[in-house]
Amino acid sequence: MYRTLKVSAVLTLLMSPLAASAYTYDQFSGDPMEQYSSEELSEEQILDAQCREELGLPEADIPYGALKFNLRRCITLKRKAQFNEILGERRRARTQSTYEKIIAPKSEELKRRTASFFRRAVQQQQTSRQNAITESATEQRSSLLRVRAQNRTSVHQNERQQILDARELQSLRIKAREDCLSAPRAERSACIREKLESLSKESQE
């Protein structure tokens, strides 16, 4: 049916050259509103053709009924899909604009704050480690000095004790000799040893 109408229109134009020549450039160009209407009509025709092909409907006019309802619903759904796509593109554009104006700067600021936080944490760790090393070295040095002081004290005490022991031994020997002066000369040495041992035991007790 559509092809028959198209052929009839062509024959009509061929048979009426005067009518065809009567159209001027201005009439073909039309005003913007007419062009906009023709664009809408063209889009409507495209959607109509797509839906007819998808639904398997003929190109001829369809009377009101289930087929007409299905065709109009198909066209409406396609229009809605186009509208949603345009709306989605606008939303994505707004989202991108919002990201570039608000989110991106905040993200960069967050990155800078995070980097600064980690730098401070690393510096604090290094400072704490250095302080711990310094404290450990100081403690080791103090401990070494204490040990050396204790050793010196012990050495001094030992030396003093040795001096005291030597003096005491010398005093005991003098006393033993004095006690053994009355002993015979041949027995005097043995008397001094015995007396010295006896006096040493008494001093230890």
Q: Which domain holds residue 63?
A: 29-110
> Does some domain include residue 170?
no
The 8-class DSSP code of residue 60 comes to S
> Does some domain include residue 45?
yes
- State the pLDDT at residue 76: 92
> Does some domain include residue 18?
no
> Does some domain include residue 106?
yes
Q: Taking the complete model, does pTM exceed 0.85, yes or no?
A: no
- State the pLDDT at residue 74: 92
Q: Which residues of the chain have pLDDT under 50?
A: 1-37
**What are the helix (H) ranges across the chain?**
2-15, 17-21, 25-29, 32-55, 66-98, 104-179, 185-204
Tokens of 108: 């960069």
- State the pLDDT at residue 15: 41
> Does some domain include residue 92?
yes
Number of domains in the chain: 1
Tokens of 124: 């604090």
Average pLDDT, the chain: 73
At residue 62, the 3 state secondary structure works out as coil
- State the pLDDT at residue 104: 64
d(CA 150, CA 25): 121
